[in-house]
Chains A and B, each alone.
Chain A
Amino acid sequence: MYSELVMEHFRNPRNMGVIEDADGVGEVGNPQCGDMMRITIKVKDGILEDIKFQTLGCGAAVATSSMVTEMAKGKKLDEALQITNKAVADALGGLPPQKMHCSNLAADGLRAAIEDYRRRQQEGAHPDRSPDVRET
């Protein structure tokens, strides 16, 4: 069902785990759908210095998570935002058709983490102008 590269990433996922003092956190999917991922990033000088993922899901969900971290690590934020779900699937040599929707969320997760980082930056720079208080 899966390509050898997908299975390789599933067997040996890259950058699995959590960055405790992350600069940005992205969460996509939900457990009701069976697929959920959390991406944590560390940013230095506009570059993704470190990135880690946690994923609940099938083989494709794990492999795309692993692949997106590999593609994004060391990139400028704007470059990282260019990565699409399709590009991740392509980099893995393709996914079975039924996996293209539910399990192919990794780039969305990365984007959510970068947006979270930028939001925090804005709030940090202008704390008095930030109306919503973040609990996390």
Chain B
Amino acid sequence: MERVIYLDHASTTPTDPEVLEAMLPWFSQKFGNPSTVYSLGLTSSEAVQQARETVARLIGAEPEEIYFTSGGTESDNWAIFGTAEAQQSKGRHLITSAIEHHAVLECMKFLEKRGFEVTWLPVNSRGLVDPEEVRRALRPDTILVSIMHANNEVGSIEPIEEIGRITREAGVLFHVDAVQTVGKLPLDVDQLGVDMLSMSAHKFYGPKGVGALYARKRVKLSSYLHGGGQERGKRAGTHNVPGIVGLAKALEIACGRMAEDAIREAELRDRLWKGISERIQAVHLNGDFQHRLPSNLSIRVDGVEGESMILMLDMEGICVSSGSACTTGSLDPSHVLLAMGIPAEQAHGSLRMTLGRSTTQEDIDKFIEVFPPIVARLREMSPIWCANCICRKGS
């Protein structure tokens, strides 16, 4: 089989071979339960502690502020439900944005059903939250602000530091879903002014099924999983030792090569956009070019539907993703694109390419070569494209 051109790194990344190697001894050889007292268990417990120290150091936190979880979704759920539970005597109002990942969105909707009140902040056409909107939305009964660091679909980087200053001033807890940025952007929890932060290992070349929640010492987080008292009684369940070791190793590697990766990926990303926009008419960039993840390119193509582009690119061995309804199983197109004011019919024609370490210039050039004929063929098939042409000629 021909080499797959993988341009979906925001979805998941391959586990780095060095990370895998670091994980392997913790499966069959050093398999002890970290909660036991004999030396085999102690070895595991030390490995978990070491991983905790590594993760803490790399985000500017203290080791006892790191809680290992099963991934980004669990970290988000815990931060939100844990705060709601612990703070409900103080108030029942939460603030979030309209473009959060579903792992935040659905928690907020669930709380709404349970009698909490949620303010959904809008974003501008480039996918950015205005910090002043956060300030205006704050109330005496606000218990949590949850805003993502960077958006998974359009790659917009939110003004977390400014929002952090505002929440700190107001004395309101601030949670950040940093699943798309940990290991990719320089990140220090004190500088950002965040109280809780979610991360997921498989987004930065670590294994799937493991993540972490950072929670500042002053945060009174309620216990999430009840049982054997692991993670200082907050999150019970035998530690995923290989996963935790892998997460820390992956983060160490990612932070070590962050600048280098970012520069290379941004260059290739810009080459990709230039190639596409020069060769295809009526394509648009989604989101902001300045405040954008270096690896993200999100576009929309007039007169074409997203899933059909994905299927045709797949035939060429290229993996990308879309903001169209059909890929998510719902009828509505991406809530992110709609929140940015993009009309539904255009949002259905969206495509997301996210680059990574394995991406080469040849990959990008192959994409630029095969993509225009795909769009041409789908437009030939499309009942609305011709109408558009006439419209454009006539205007």
Interface residues of A (CB under 8 A from B): 7, 10-11, 13, 16, 27, 30-38, 54-62, 98-99, 101-103
Once the chains bind, are A31 and B333 in contact (CB under 8 Å)? no
- Which residues of chain A come closer than 8 Å to B305, judged between CB atoms? 34-35, 56-58, 61
Are A59 and B383 touching (Cβ within 8 A)?
Answer: no
Contact (A58, B384) CB under 8 Å given A32-B345, A34-B333: no
Is B308 within 8 A of A62, CB to CB?
yes
- Nearest-Cβ distance from residue A18 to partner chain B, whole angstroms: 8
Residue-by-residue, is B289-323 near A (CB-CB < 8 Å gives 1, otherwise 0)?
00000000000000111111001000100000000
Q: Does B329 contact A (CB under 8 A)?
A: yes
Q: 12 interchain pairs (CB within 8 A)?
A: A31-B384, A32-B343, A32-B345, A33-B325, A34-B333, A56-B303, A57-B308, A58-B305, A58-B326, A59-B308, A99-B326, A102-B331
Which residues does B use to contact A, with CB under 8 Å?
303-308, 311, 315, 324-326, 329-331, 333, 343-345, 348, 380-385
Known: A32-B344, A54-B382. Is A98-B308 also a contact (CB below 8 A)?
Answer: no
- Which of A34, A55, A59 counts the most chain B CB atoms within 10 A? A34
Closest B residue, CB atoms, query A103: B326
**A56 in contact with B324 (CB, 8 Å):** no
The answer, among A11, A34, A98, A99, for a CB contact under 8 Å with B348, is A34
Task: Give the nearest-CB partner of A34 in chain B.
Answer: B348
Identity of the chain A residue whose Cβ is nearest the Cβ of B346 in the assembled complex: A31
Interface contact A13-B325, CB-CB below 8 Å? no
Does B311 lie within 8 Å of A10, measured CB to CB? Answer: yes
Asked if A58 and B307 make an inter-chain contact with CB atoms under 8 angstroms apart, the answer reads yes
Q: Which residue of B lies closest to A65 (CB)?
A: B381
A60 to B324, CA, bound (A): 14
CB distance from A81 to the nearest CB of B (A): 22
Known: A34-B345, A99-B326, A103-B326. A54 touches B307 (CB 8 A): no
- Cβ contact within 8 Å between B304 and A98: no
Are the C-beta atoms of B381 and A55 separated by less than 8 Å? yes
Asked whether B381 lies within 8 Å of A59 as measured between CB atoms, the reply is no
Which residues does chain A contribute within 8 Å of B304, judged by CB atoms? 56
For A31, the chain B residues whose CB sits under 8 A away are 344-345, 348, 384
Q: Shortest CB–CB separation between residue B74 and chain A, in angstroms?
A: 25
Min CB distance A33 to B, Å, is 7
In the complex, A56→B324 CA distance in Å? 12
- Given A13-B381, A56-B304, A59-B307; 5 other pairs, CB 8 A cutoff: A34-B324, A36-B383, A56-B383, A58-B326, A59-B311
Bound Cα distance from A27 to B387, whole angstroms: 14
> Are A54 and B383 within 8 A (Cβ)?
yes
B381: A residues at CB distance < 8 A = 13, 16, 54-56, 62
In the bound complex, residues from chain B placing their C-beta under 8 Å from that of A60 are 326
Pair A38/B348 contact, Cβ less than 8 Å: no
The CA-CA distance from A10 to B326 in the complex, in Å, is 15
Most buried by A among B333, B344, B382: B382
- Indicate if the CB atoms of B324 and A58 lie closer than 8 Å: yes
List the 5 shortest-distance A-B pairs measured between CB atoms, nearest first. A31-B345, A34-B348, A58-B326, A58-B307, A98-B329
How far, in angstroms, from A13 to B304 measured CA to CA in the complex? 16
A38 touches B383 (CB 8 A): yes
